């Protein structure tokens, strides 16, 4: 019959298990792992924040004090400074979170203004250091520009050398031809008609060759200029692309760094909120219950008994004496109430009868444990 009505085909044990996990769990059990994860992750965020801020402080320090050489001592000093700064930020923001929660999210009061400003200053300083550090960590603009400038200069020298060598062949040939033409022109004076014609033909031919070589030299110069301009433009485009990617990386790291700083604050804040909620929950479900109040009163009376009767086997004071002690200690307990406690102590074997005497049967530590277990106080 049950199989016909149980459409979900869920076993009763499975139902109880699911209910205990999803519904019955209290706040501290439900969100314990959230608190643990955020708290641990916030410490990881502190480490990353120190790592990123290190690059900014290091660059700032060496650019401000150029006469100081780089060394291990400076590096350790920067790391110690940033670590102390992060610990101070955590501590102050932790106090801020506690006050914020205690005041029920209403902090803007006159006596809190200075504290709020101090907290904001520390948090802003941490943001500033880590964001600038993230920028310095991934910013390769100077490297790209230097590499491009060096590559263009090297390639230009290579292109120029190549074309200068090619031009030199024509320049050398022109120099030889011009020198030869000059010799022939000196021979024209007093030469016979036959030699005159022959010399002139050679001179004209050489001039044509010189003109052709000049054109080739001009073409080579143009080709050289085109090649250098083309390579420079190509590298300029590559540099622009690299700089765009570089700027994108900077923005990404700044965003990541901002998220990390927020995670630190969320982790610290939620840890305090979790503790506060756990305390409230404990007070509501334990301390404010009649069982806890009864245990607390009985435990106080038991402490009075042990203060007057130290050792196991010792005789307890009379009821009237103990009631008088309770009045002196401002414990408001009636005689019937006290008798109920005595009966409970007998049942728990914390005290026992020895002939007509009431004596201690358990040590103070054991007695308190038995009483706490009876009332199920964790």
The total domain count for the chain is 2
Shared domain for 238 and 160, answered yes or no, is: yes
Shared domain for 151 and 240, answered yes or no, is: yes
**pLDDT at residue 37, rounded to an integer:** 92
Q: Assess if residue 283 is contained within a domain.
A: no
Question: What CATH code is carried by the domain that includes residue 316?
Answer: 1.10.10
Judged by average pLDDT, the poorest of 201-205, 331-335, 349-353, 365-369 is 331-335
Q: Which of 147, 116, 91 is nearest to 265 (CA)?
A: 91
Residue 375 has pLDDT above 90, yes or no: no
Judged by average pLDDT, the poorest of 2-16, 145-159, 182-196, 321-335 is 2-16
Alpha-carbon distance of 44 to 24, in angstroms, equals 33
Q: Last residue of some domain: 192, 227, 247?
A: 247
Alpha-carbon distance of 316 to 307, in angstroms, equals 11
Alpha-carbon distance of 12 to 5, in angstroms, equals 13
Q: Assess if residue 80 is contained within a domain.
A: no
Instruction: Residue 357: count other Cβ atoms within 10 Å of its Cβ.
Output: 10
C-beta separation of 246 from 141 below 8 A? yes
Q: Assess if residue 118 is contained within a domain.
A: no
The predicted model gives 114-143 an average pLDDT of 83
Q: Which string of DSSP letters, residue by residue, matches 269-314?
A: HHHHHHHHHHHHHHIIIIITSHHHHHHHHHHHHHHHHHHH--STTP
Hunting for tokens 């250091």 — which residue is that? 129
C-beta separation of 126 from 89 below 8 A? yes
Alpha-carbon distance of 10 to 125, in angstroms, equals 56
Residue 318 has pLDDT above 50, yes or no: yes
- For residue 334, the surrounding DSSP H or E stretch is none
Residue 84 has pLDDT above 90, yes or no: yes
Name the pTM for this structure.
0.63
The predicted model gives 84-94 an average pLDDT of 90
**pLDDT at residue 1, rounded to an integer:** 43
The share of the chain scoring above pLDDT 70, in percent, equals: 90
Per-residue pLDDT band for 21 (boundaries 50, 70, 90) equals low
Q: Assess if residue 11 is contained within a domain.
A: no
Alpha carbon of residue 171 to chain centroid: 67
C-beta separation of 171 from 138 below 8 A? no
Q: Assess if residue 23 is contained within a domain.
A: no
Q: Which of 348, 356, 264, 367 is nearest to 307 (CA)?
A: 367
**pLDDT at residue 291, rounded to an integer:** 82
Alpha-carbon separation of residue 135 from 32, 64, 155, 252, 256 (angstroms): 36, 19, 32, 9, 11
Q: 286 or 80: which carries more pLDDT confidence?
A: 80
- Please give the backbone phi and psi of residue 13, each rounded to the nearest 5 degrees, phi first: -65, -40
Give the structural domain span for 183: 141-247
Shared domain for 150 and 240, answered yes or no, is: yes
Q: In terms of DSSP bridges, do strands 357-360 and 351-354 run parallel, antiparallel, or are they unpaired? A: antiparallel
C-beta separation of 61 from 32 below 8 A? no
Two tokens at 75? Answer: 């590096």
Alpha-carbon distance of 85 to 87, in angstroms, equals 5
The predicted model gives 272-295 an average pLDDT of 82
Q: Last residue of some domain: 183, 213, 247?
A: 247
Two tokens at 239? Answer: 């540099």
How far is the first Cα of the chain from the last one, in angstroms, to the nearest whole number? 43
Shared domain for 157 and 233, answered yes or no, is: yes
**pLDDT at residue 40, rounded to an integer:** 92
Q: Assess if residue 183 is contained within a domain.
A: yes
Residue 251 has pLDDT above 50, yes or no: yes
Shared domain for 295 and 223, answered yes or no, is: no
Q: Assess if residue 163 is contained within a domain.
A: yes
Q: Which residues, other chains included, contact 186 with Cβ-Cβ below 8 Å and sequence gap of 6+?
A: none
Q: Which of 18, 14, 90 is nearest to 49 (CA)?
A: 90
- Tell me what the pLDDT averaged over the chain comes to: 82
Q: Assess if residue 330 is contained within a domain.
A: yes
C-beta separation of 87 from 42 below 8 A? no
**pLDDT at residue 53, rounded to an integer:** 87
Q: Last residue of some domain: 195, 220, 247?
A: 247
The predicted model gives 135-159 an average pLDDT of 84
The predicted model gives 302-320 an average pLDDT of 84
C-beta separation of 209 from 173 below 8 A? yes
């Amino acid at each position: 019959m049950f199989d016909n009505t149980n459409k979900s085909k869920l076993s009763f044990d499975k139902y109880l298990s699911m209910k205990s996990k999803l519904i019955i769990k209290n706040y501290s059990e439900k969100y314990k792992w959230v608190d643990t994860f955020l708290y641990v992750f916030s410490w990881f965020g502190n480490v990353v924040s120190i790592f990123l801020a290190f690059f900014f402080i290091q660059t700032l320090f060496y650019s401000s004090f150029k006469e100081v050489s780089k060394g291990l001592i400076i590096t350790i000093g920067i790391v110690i400074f940033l670590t102390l700064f992060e610990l101070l930020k955590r501590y102050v923001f932790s106090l801020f979170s506690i006050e914020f929660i205690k005041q029920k999210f209403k902090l803007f009061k006159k006596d809190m203004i200075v504290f709020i400003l101090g907290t904001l200053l520390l948090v802003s300083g941490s943001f500033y250091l880590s964001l600038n550090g993230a920028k310095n960590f991934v910013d390769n603009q100077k490297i790209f520009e230097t590499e491009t400038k060096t590559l263009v200069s090297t390639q230009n020298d290579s292109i120029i050398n190549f074309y200068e060598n090619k031009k030199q062949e024509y320049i050398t040939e022109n120099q030889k031809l011009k020198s030869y033409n000059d010799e022939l022109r000196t021979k024209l004076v007093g030469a016979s008609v036959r030699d005159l014609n022959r010399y002139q033909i050679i001179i004209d031919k050489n001039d044509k060759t010189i003109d052709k070589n000049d054109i080739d030299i001009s073409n080579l110069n143009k080709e050289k200029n085109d090649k250098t301009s083309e390579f420079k433009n190509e590298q300029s485009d590559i540099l622009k692309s690299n700089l765009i990617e570089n700027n994108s990386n900077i923005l990404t790291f700044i965003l990541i760094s901002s998220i990390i700083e927020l995670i630190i604050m969320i982790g610290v804040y939620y840890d305090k909120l979790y503790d506060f909620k756990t305390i409230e929950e404990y007070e509501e479900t334990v301390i404010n219950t009649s069982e806890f109040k009864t245990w607390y009163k009985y435990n106080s009376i038991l402490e009075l008994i042990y203060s007057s009767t130290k050792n196991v086997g010792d005789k307890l004071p009379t009821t009237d004496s103990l009631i008088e002690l309770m009045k002196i200690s401002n414990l408001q307990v009636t005689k019937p109430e006290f008798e109920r406690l005595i009966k409970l102590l007998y049942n728990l074997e914390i005290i026992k009868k020895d002939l007509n005497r009431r004596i201690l049967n358990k040590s103070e530590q054991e007695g308190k444990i038995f009483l706490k277990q009876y009332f199920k106080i964790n």
